[in-house]
Structure 1
Amino acid sequence: MTSASTPFDLTGRTAVVTGAGRGLGQGIALGLAAAGADLVLVGLPGSQDDAAKAIVDLGRSATVVDLDMSDHDAVRRVGAEIAAEHEVDVLVSNAGIIERYDTVELAPESWDRVVDINLSGLFFLTQAVGVPMVERGRGKIISIASLLAFQGGIRVISYAASKHGVAGITKALANEWGGSGVQVNAIAPGYMATDNTTALREDPERAQAILDRIPAGRWGTPEDVAGAAVFLASPAADYVNGHVLVVDGGWMAR
């Protein structure tokens, strides 16, 4: 690893990003690459080729690793392989899904799908990649939470539970690993123009109600979250630990 020339320079760092094939994950991966990092992209087969090409076009390297985050045995195995093959400086756990149901109709299979990917898969990958960080005495772990780490939402109880859990994991690991030089933080995006919010944006009443509450007056973009990720991944955030950084255009201020 080379020394950074500015507090936000990631030159010489290696960052792992899950779910980097589209949306927030792709925006974060490109933001880290633009700041100088080389990338390991982790996600479903065939989903991340475009992101890898864009990273190479920025002059950085991109390694694609196929992984289903709901397969926890595979997550532990692949996580250990990544940690053995790369000196990982930054882990961004972004992969996640959302399923919308009235709670009275929520099937166990739906609950399990959301929690298995958003919470359990995230934890097992963090454990596998984070332990070598603790042993080396440095590293940055960034998990993607949500405004629903603070709120309950509507018809998304499994998602809300999983994102509350992400915030809890963030704080617990910050307590355990902070003294070893590893900063563990999360980003809580607000309402973003991604696939996860398609149903909301296509509902005129819900979409307008959401915009009416956002002081910025617009939906967020992957680029809005990328800057926060670069900050938390960089030396500028060396004394930031156990924090859930809200990037929401002011939603939580209302």
Structure 2
Amino acid sequence: MNILDMTGRRVLVTGAGQGVGRQVALHCAAHGAAVVVNDFHADRAKTVAGEITDDGGEAVGVSCDVTDLDAVSAMVGQNGPVDVLVNNAGNAGPAEDPLAHTPPFWETGPQDWEPWIGTNLYGVLNASRAVLPGMVERGYGRIVTVISDAGRTGEPNLAVYGGAKAGAAGFSRGLAKSVGRHGITVNCVALSTVATPGIAPAIADPEIARKMLRGYPLRRFGEPSDAANAVLFLASDAASWVTGQTYPVNGGYAITP
């Protein structure tokens, strides 16, 4: 028996046009799920959905800004019912290089904080709000939110981002206690540096990469598949008795009890 089998499940993955989200979508499809591939950029969403359908799977690419509750609700209404939600959209939303300039927090203002909080916290709230009524009605659901070790241990120059991710984790713990009786589990996966298009410019420099890897006992950066493996587990029935937890997938970068 394949305990990771997701045949008959519909999975919505936000921010799935590249990187970790793309790999999560591919993993879920490879295990039988029908996948709604969401991304702010329509071309990216459709490309990933095309990869899945070309390989014999079922998928649709949908453009939607997760910071807009009405848009998220419409996406779910048009492509549901959703059995599994993976809140993967992150960073500063559609910004191509959100870390290109990171001034000290005391030199920033609400206009700088909004993209981080909007995507990483309100995006999670919006997508969860959109899918939960159907999950409660059917008595089944999985919500997996991708957070960051910046939200667990803190990172310099990423205070707002880390705060938003910590907020998403706290929300998930509270939600898990609220919806467990309806057969719904809610968990998080906390990542450290993963080799995605967003981080590629930094780790392409051998000296920068060498310094960064000093903090990793396993001496390598993560791959999208490392993250997707954990998400797939929590999204499947293999994790049916796991809820309210945060699973670190970080190469040992942050080791806490």
Give the one of 242, 248, 251 matched to 1:249: 251
Determine if contact 1:147/1:189 at 8 Å carries over to the other structure: yes
1:82-129 deviation per Cα after TM superposition (whole angstroms, max 9, x unaligned) = 4xx422111101011244422122232120111111111221111111
Q: Secondary structure at the match of 1:134?
A: helix
Matched AA of 2:131: V
The CA deviation at 1:74 is: 2.1
Aligned to 2:46: 49
Q: Secondary structure at the match of 2:37?
A: strand
Matched, 1:90 2:84: yes
Aligned to 2:25: 29
Structure 1 segments of 4+ aligned residues over 6 angstroms from their partners: none
Give the one of 123, 131, 134 matched to 1:132: 134
Distance 1:176 1:196 in 2: 35
Distance 2:73 2:11 in 1: 18
Show the 5 A alignment for 1:5-20.
5-20=1-16
The CA deviation at 1:202 is: 4.8
Matched AA of 1:182: I
What's the TM-score, normalizing by structure 2? 0.90
Please report the RMSD computed on the Cα atoms of aligned residues, expressed in angstroms: 1.8
The CA deviation at 1:198 is: 3.6
Give the one of 63, 82, 85 matched to 1:66: 63
Distance 2:154 2:31 in 1: 35
Q: Secondary structure at the match of 2:232?
A: helix
Determine if contact 2:6/2:236 at 8 Å carries over to the other structure: yes
1:4-49 deviation per Cα after TM superposition (whole angstroms, max 9, x unaligned) = x421111111100011110000011001111111101112222212
Q: Secondary structure at the match of 2:214?
A: helix
Q: Secondary structure at the match of 2:199?
A: helix
Distance 1:199 1:108 in 2: 27
Aligned to 2:95: none
Segment of structure 1 superposing worse, 69-78 or 228-237 = 69-78
Give the one of 34, 37, 43 matched to 1:38: 34
